[in-house]
């Protein structure tokens, strides 16, 4: 059985994996975890990996009960497909200095790890006091160095859309995360 959601256009959502309530509750907890992990003497800098993390980043920033600064990075490895191309293209790098800061890279989903494997050395070279990764979803297909410290949910092995995650730039506006019913294309 698939769900019909007018925000999904002619496509169908096979099932909802994480509801709006699930997302809200877990993001609130992640905000508290990040605040507790960051030394009081260090500024928290969240770097959102655009485009997929934008909704998660906004809610996460509001859930951290301390001052935070935000910056962004744009990297692409999916383009219009459902599988990573294996090539990472950097389209925009943060302007903010990372030196001496508590830096948290904010991702929507980690599956192949291709993007982060390419970017973590770039961030480490800028000498942050701490470099952490926070992802809303983790498929547990890869281990990163440094390991992913803050994880919202373990993700099922399916192509997920909604709450920032897309397929060919569609479905980011869904307020939940669901499995795209690809067979009706």
| Residue 163 token pair | 């709450």
Measured from the Cβ of residue 183, the count of other Cβ atoms closer than 10 Å reads 8
Element (H, E) at 71: strand 68-76
DSSP string, 105-151: EEEEEESS-HHHHHHHHHHHTT--SEEEEEEEEE--S---SS---EE
Asked if 110 and 144 touch (Cβ cutoff 8 Å), the reply is yes
DSSP code, position 170: B
H-assigned helices in the chain:
20-37, 54-63, 114-124
Number of H helices, E strands in the chain: 3, 9
Residue 111 annotated in active site? yes
Catalytic residue among 10, 22, 95, 111: 111
Known catalytic residues are 111
């Amino acid at each position: 059985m698939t769900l019909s959601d007018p925000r999904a256009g002619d496509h169908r959502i096979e099932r909802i994996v994480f509801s709006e309530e699930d997302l809200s509750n877990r993001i609130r907890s992640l905000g508290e975890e990040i605040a507790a992990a960051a030394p009081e003497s260090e500024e928290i800098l969240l770097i959102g990996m655009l485009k997929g993390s934008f909704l998660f980043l906004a809610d996460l920033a509001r859930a951290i009960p301390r001052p935070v600064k935000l910056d962004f990075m744009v990297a692409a490895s999916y383009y219009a497909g459902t599988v990573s191309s294996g090539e990472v293209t950097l389209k925009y790098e943060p302007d903010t200095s990372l030196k001496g800061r508590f830096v948290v890279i904010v991702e929507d989903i980690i599956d192949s790890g291709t993007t982060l494997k390419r970017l973590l050395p770039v961030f480490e070279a800028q000498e942050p006091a701490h470099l952490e990764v926070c992802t809303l979803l983790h498929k547990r297909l890869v281990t990163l160095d440094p390991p992913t410290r803050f994880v919202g949910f373990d993700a099922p092995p399916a192509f997920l859309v909604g709450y920032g995650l897309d397929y060919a730039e569609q479905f980011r506006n869904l307020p939940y995360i669901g499995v795209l019913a690809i067979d009706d294309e």
